[in-house]
Structures are given as structure tokens and as C-alpha cells.
Structure 1
Amino acid sequence: MEASSFYAGKRVVVTGAGGFIGSHLVEALVREGANVRALVRYTSSSQRGHLDRVPSSVLGHVEVVLGNVEDAAGVRKLVRGADVVFHLAALIGIPYSYVAPHQYVATNVSGTLNVLEAAREYGARVVHTSTSETYGSARYAPIDEAHPLTGQSPYSATKIGADKLAESYFLSFGTPVATIRPFNTYGPRQSSRAFIPSVMKQLAAGRDVVRVGSTRPKRDLNFVDDTVAGFLAVGASDRALGQVINVGSGRTISMGELAELIFEVSGKPARLETDDARVRPDASEVELLLADCRKAKELVGYEPRVTLEEGLQKTWAYVLERIADYRPDEYAI
């Protein structure tokens, strides 16, 4: 079944809807005709994260709920009546996981348990969001879904735990769960803690010396529109249930090479300088990520469409447009 026909009229919940990927997914679901309920982490200011940057013509069709996946009762209320739950809510900053590992367990593991319990009770289909960081440094490449999992950071360890909970609910209770494992997604609205917007905001501010972490690691970078297409395809597929499915570009590039490509796309040459505060501990650094997406193509018909060069151009245009939102001298963990 085509994703577009699957979602029309469906009641769909998105946790982590105020985040980078979540906000783009909400937009796509509204375009597909879904009735969307979007969970955004509660703050006293009632801000809705990146949903505040979604066009009002789209957001007017979304029921925004302020809450927290760590609140089991709130999650049950959120999921009641839903056909599909896209579970994206998570703490994702790797450097901050070294600082606050207990909070990562509470959000990423316990929060996922709450979503699974609610889905089990109400019969909702769940698309659980994993991460390529669960693989650790590649023992072989490209990385398929059978690759061993390695907790090289507290963040990746909590995501492995959440993935295994999702697997257990499918095997133990028959809860209809599919796990999507995105590789490094980038694009408009991404936090400036990430490599691409961090480099771009420094260039946009006129810096001729750009401060970065390690330039050695290689990453598989996927434009956000392609990642969202993967979510929609996995959520619409019965064949995806009980499966873990990689979503990436199938291309890898080192951080140093990526920075040079950003300089080229932006038309702003600069010099790289290593900032020790941005470098992971040696044993925690993941050196290579490269997705094997054959399973995604075979099971759900997924194929990336946006080249890295095209995606960087779109991201650069966004950063220039919203440079006032960025603080070039600040490194966010």
C-alpha cells in the first residue's frame, strides 16, 4: 500500500514532535491527510519547539499536546484512540549523555516503555526510532541490521535498551512494532549542536576560522526529507512489523571532507581548527557509519532521493535566513 493512501484519515500520534525530525514528520503526515496529535515536551513558556516554525496552514490541522513521555498516565491518554504512534521523543545529544546519563535512561528507556505499554493496551501500531549510533564503530561496512550493537556512549546504550524493549513487546505480546534506524539526518531546523549547522552558523557569522571536533570520523548523511519518507514507508508497511530497518543515504564522508564541501557550497572558504571541548573521549568516538539500506528497499520501497550537495544547499539557505536564531560563539552540547 502506498504511504499516502495509508495515512489518509488515520489518527496518528507523534512523540518528540517539537524536534528536528519530528516537526518535519508532522508536516508530512498532515499533507498525507492524517489526523495528527503531536506531543511536545512541556515547558512553563508553552513553547512548541520546531513546531513553532511549521506554517500555520499546517499547524492548524495538528492537535498539540504538552507533556513528557516519562509520564506514564499522560502517555496512555495521548495514545488512546490512535492508529499509529511514531515514537521519536528522546534525549539525543551525545556529549550531554556523558553529563546526565540518569536522565537519558529516564527519557529514552522508561519513556519508550511507557509508549509501548500504552500501544499494547490500545492496539496502536508503533514506529520506534532507533539510531545508527547503536552500532558503534563499524566492524564491517556497509552496516546492515545484523551488525552487532555496541554502547559506545551512554546515549547509544539507552537507545539499545529502548530498541530491545520494542523488540520484546513484539515478540512477547504481539504489539505491532517496527523499529526504524536512521543514520545521520541533517537539514533545516537541526540543532546547532550538530556538525553541519555548527559549521554553517560560524560561516554565516563571517568567521574565517571554523571550530570543530574531530575531522576523522566518517558519517552517512541523509537529508531530512528522505529520512521522513523512510518513516512514512515503515509506518505504512505490515512487512516492517517486528523488523529493524536502516534508513540512510548509502554514502559516507569524513567530517573534514564535509567541512570542505560546506565551504564550497556556501562560497565561504575558511580554515578548520580543532576545539577539544567538541571531541569525544577516544573509546567513545564512532569512527565509521555507512548504511546498508537494501532491507528498507526490499521491505518498504525506500530509496533516498536528495544528494548531499543538494541537501547542503537547502540547509545553507535556511541557516542564512534564520541566522538570528543561532549563537555563533556558543558550542551547544
Structure 2
Amino acid sequence: MNLKNKKVLITGADGFIGSHLVERLIDEGAEVKAFCNYNSFGSWGWLDTLPKEKLAAIEIFTGDIRDPNGVRTAVKGTDVVFHLAALIAIPFSYHSPDSYIDTNVKGTLNIVQACKDLNIERVLVTSTSEVYGTAQYVPIDEKHPRQPQSPYSASKIGADCIAESFYRSFDLPLTIVRPFNTYGPRQSARAVIPTIITQLLAGKTEIKLGDLIPTRDLLYVKDTANGFVEIAKANSLIGTDCNIATQSEISIGDLAQKIIDLVNPQAKLLRDDERIRPSKSEVFRLFGSCEKLKQHTSWAAQFDLDKGLEKTVEWFRNSKHTVQYKADIYNI
């Protein structure tokens, strides 16, 4: 599929990955409608930080992904839907699992139901590498068993299953997109890389983290956005799920040291028990396969970890939008 001049809806467009995908699809020549979560502040999230010329090219729709009527209104008149809206913080899912079912499972049902009824040409539903749980083998390909190790991952497994059922039952032209651990500018403080960077830039010399042993497959956000676009173009991926990954891994401890070396080599790591997840819930190893993605598309990562971290630190150091980050608390 050629996305140029296609009318594209992005849910979760106000968020981290969603805002980068908005920019990427504008560059691709798509007509973008951005579904932003309604709030009384009139905030469009990270879209508020885009240049005026880019904002002028976007149609903004405010609503709630849990509302089927609003979702149907947003979907109407579009050709392609990228569904990214979700609750994603794992620690908060321990506290409020109901909200994850409502947002992630019901929200996805609302999307695929509307897309089916309105005959949308192409649908991409965003999953997460968390559905795999701790690796049983590496690299983790799309055939790896699903392991719901947190309420968040359980809700995303449920959402994946709802989406897959609409392909099997109704031939909805759908692909489940499964990014591994995306990082970069605009990521929230609940994630490990912004947690480390914001503490360092606040002048802290003892950096508080949870478990340092788990490994992650880290993907710079522009590579993730490119992955979404390439998957949308690949009709051969309809009816399947597809990882976006770098096929590499690094431990949290080694990652933290890399960032410390970039910002303040005098800083030390300090274990904070509040940040330790329940042992059976922690995903200890994520190391994804990108072979399927490369077989069906021309995607290749453009940013290695060192380059991506340098750009991320630069953004946090220089952006006027980082005042919202709270380095002195544990953000969940």
C-alpha cells in the first residue's frame, strides 16, 4: 500500500510513539487525523510541541478510546488506522488493572469493530514485547509463547487476541505490530531511560533504579515509527503479527552505566526497593527477532544504541518541554 494521500487515523497520537508516527506519516504524504485523549486542559499532548506548520497539516480529534461512538466517529472517512492508544505503565497496572482492561482490550475492540463496519482498507494494532514475558528462547520471534506476567501484559495479550479474531472471523485487513523497548525524545518518566537521564540532569549523583539484571532490546523511536510505516505498506503482513526489534540486548545495569558515562561519570547506581517488581512479574530477558520484518519490508534500524542515547540525552538536556519531568519521585 502506498500511504501518500491516504487518509490516516492515529490513535494515541498525543503520546510518545504516536507523536513521532504523526510526523513520519506527514513526511510520507498522508492526510493525518490525530486521535488525542480528551481532557479539560485542552492539551494535545506531545503534538502541542510540534512546529506550527506540522500542526496545521493535522486534523485533531479529541475523544476517549473506551467510547465506541467517539471511536466510530473518528474512524469514519479514513482509509488506514494505526491504533496506538493504550495504558502502558506496568507498575500502575498492579494498582488499577480494571483501567487496563477498559482501555487496552475494550479500546481495541472499539477500533476493530468500527474498522470492520466502515470497511477500512488497512488496520495496524499496536502490541508490545511484554506479551512474550521472559524469553524462553532467543531471539524471540512471533511464534514465542505469550506469558501474562503483569496485568498490563495480560491486557495486551487480550487486545491482540481480539484483533486477530477480527481478521479470522471477518477478514479485517489487520496486522499486529509488536515493538520492543522503544526509547527517545518525549518518552515519559515512567520508563527507565528517562528515569536515569532526568536524575542525572537534576544533578543527582546517586541514581535510583530497580533491578539491574533484566535485559532489553532497545529501539530508537524513529526506527519504531519507520517500522510502522513499512509494515503498513506490506500487504503480505496482513493477518499476521510482526516484531520491530534490533535483535540485540543490554542489561539495565550496563545501560545505566552508558548513560552515566554520557552525562556524569561521577554518579553511582543505587538500588531502590520501591522500584523492584514482584519476582514472578519481572520480565528478565527481552531479545527480539526482526527477521520477519526484514523479510517482508525494506526496514533496517538507522540508529544504534550509542547514537540513539546521544540524541535522547541531547533532547532532555536542551528541550524546554522537560519541566514536566519529576526526577525526585518514582514515576509509575
TM bin, normalised by shorter chain, reads over 0.9
Percent identity over the alignment is 47
Q: Does 1:90 align with 2:80?
A: no
Q: Does 1:149 align with 2:146?
A: yes
**2:243 touches 2:292 (CA, 8 Å); kept in 1?**
yes
Give the C-alpha shift of residue 268 in structure 1: 3.7
Q: Could you tell which deviates more after superposition, 87-96 or 233-242?
A: 233-242
CA deviation string 1:127-147 (max 9, x = no partner): 000000000000001100000
**2:148 touches 2:154 (CA, 8 Å); kept in 1?**
yes
Provide the C-alpha distance between the structure 2 equivalents of 1:46 and 1:146, rounded to a whole number of angstroms: 42
Provide the C-alpha distance between the structure 1 equivalents of 2:157 and 2:64, rounded to a whole number of angstroms: 21
TM-score when normalising by structure 2: 0.97
CA deviation string 1:156-194 (max 9, x = no partner): 000000001111100100001001100000000000110
| Paired letter, 1:96 | F
Secondary structure of the residue aligned to 1:21 is helix
**2:133 touches 2:148 (CA, 8 Å); kept in 1?**
yes
Secondary structure of the residue aligned to 2:313 is helix
Give the C-alpha shift of residue 238 in structure 1: 0.5
Superposition pairs for residues 14-93 of structure 1, below 5 Å?
14-93=10-89
* Aligned with residue 236 of structure 2, among 228, 234, 239: 239
Secondary structure of the residue aligned to 1:14 is strand
**1:266 touches 1:313 (CA, 8 Å); kept in 2?**
no
Aligned to 2:295: 298
Task: Count matched residues.
Answer: 329
Superposition pairs for residues 211-290 of structure 1, below 5 Å?
211-290=208-287
Secondary structure of the residue aligned to 1:25 is helix
Give the C-alpha shift of residue 106 in structure 1: 0.2
Aligned to 1:173: 170
Give the C-alpha shift of residue 326 in structure 1: 1.8
Give the C-alpha shift of residue 324 in structure 1: 2.5
Provide the C-alpha distance between the structure 1 equivalents of 2:35 and 2:309, rounded to a whole number of angstroms: 29
CA deviation string 1:232-282 (max 9, x = no partner): 011111111001000011110000000001112224431111111211111
Provide the C-alpha distance between the structure 2 equivalents of 1:263 and 1:11, rounded to a whole number of angstroms: 43
**1:239 touches 1:300 (CA, 8 Å); kept in 2?**
no
CA deviation string 1:75-131 (max 9, x = no partner): 111101111000000000000000000000000000000000000011111100000
Q: Does 1:308 align with 2:325?
A: no
Secondary structure of the residue aligned to 2:242 is strand
| Paired letter, 1:247 | I
CA deviation string 1:55-85 (max 9, x = no partner): 2111110011110110001111110111100
**1:20 touches 1:190 (CA, 8 Å); kept in 2?**
yes
CA RMSD of aligned residues (A): 0.9
TM-score when normalising by structure 1: 0.97
Provide the C-alpha distance between the structure 2 equivalents of 1:231 and 1:291, rounded to a whole number of angstroms: 16
**1:91 touches 1:107 (CA, 8 Å); kept in 2?**
yes
Aligned to 1:196: 193
CA deviation string 1:214-242 (max 9, x = no partner): 10100000000000000001111111100
Which structure 2 residue ranges, 5 or more long, are not aligned?
none
